[in-house]
Structure 1
């Protein structure tokens, strides 16, 4: 997420997570669960027609994430758990650490069935942040999560969507495509920056599903 100043950033996050709160309340099962597959109302960006993606991996023992990598985008960043602040909005990664990814810890842990949620700033007042290039992700890209149990869970991107803020559908953004498989959502701000309202006009939501797992290198 991002904005031109700290107060604007707070507004941007609050709008996004209000949707999360409303969806969670309606679902009644916690973030990352829903009654069935859903799809977004915005066409996937760059999805090749008939592209073959690898089969889904069965759920594995869930563990907390500590590092996220998207090699095709040059993203490699530490992951920190985040919750909700006193106002009921997600507590984003600190502005002082724009290269950090936040994981919504009260929700799904990577490896479990459901959608694990990850958020990151797109920029700061002076420079690009960790998810600056996220909108360039394409189906087939790999997202690698090093976890606290010493394993790497590899997810494959299968959907990239841009949701206009005025038509944001939390169920479509956060709900799993298949509630029985492990998935993730990578979320940041997108569209253009509206100086009149102090927010970005859209959210980029990258979806992926678990396709492989391996032991983490000894130095990770």
Structure 2
């Protein structure tokens, strides 16, 4: 996937976040989102290793090697940020205090099932906090490419990889499209990067409806 595609996904996903929300960002594309949050957006970014109030990546002058996110990448802390230990962080997640979780996935099914922690036949590095996040957050947004590195669709009718959680995903943002689950079914609500509905259909095995008021993204 090109950097342009990754940044297109992150920029579009940033528009899904609303003022006052506490948002956990997973490793990978979600980590790019803070740079696309407008100044004064009033979105509180949470990282499970113990910081609420994550800011954009630091400049060389701002770099603090002790201030990192869950991906061990340097971050900044916004004024009023709070620090806590991992146990408290997961109590926030499991207690339903996280409004939105944004994370990557290997597959998402048309029923909203998510698989993002293991590929059969390959070494498993660990599920991390994903299982807690996708059931503890009030809203789950998946940011991922439309296909795998081998060209296999990632928005599928049924997941073939081990599930992280069933029926957990509310919104999917890829480099081509935005999908939402509406009344239990998958709906294409926006096209990105000049894609057409036919382009999306060519890389998607999930069944989906097309929104009547489909907006063509300008990203």
Q: Which structure shows the bigger proportion of residues in strand conformation?
A: 1
TM-score normalised according to structure 2 size: 0.29
Higher relative CO (CA 8 A, sep ≥ 6), structure 1 or 2? 1
TM-score normalised according to structure 1 size: 0.29
Larger Cα-atom Rg: 2
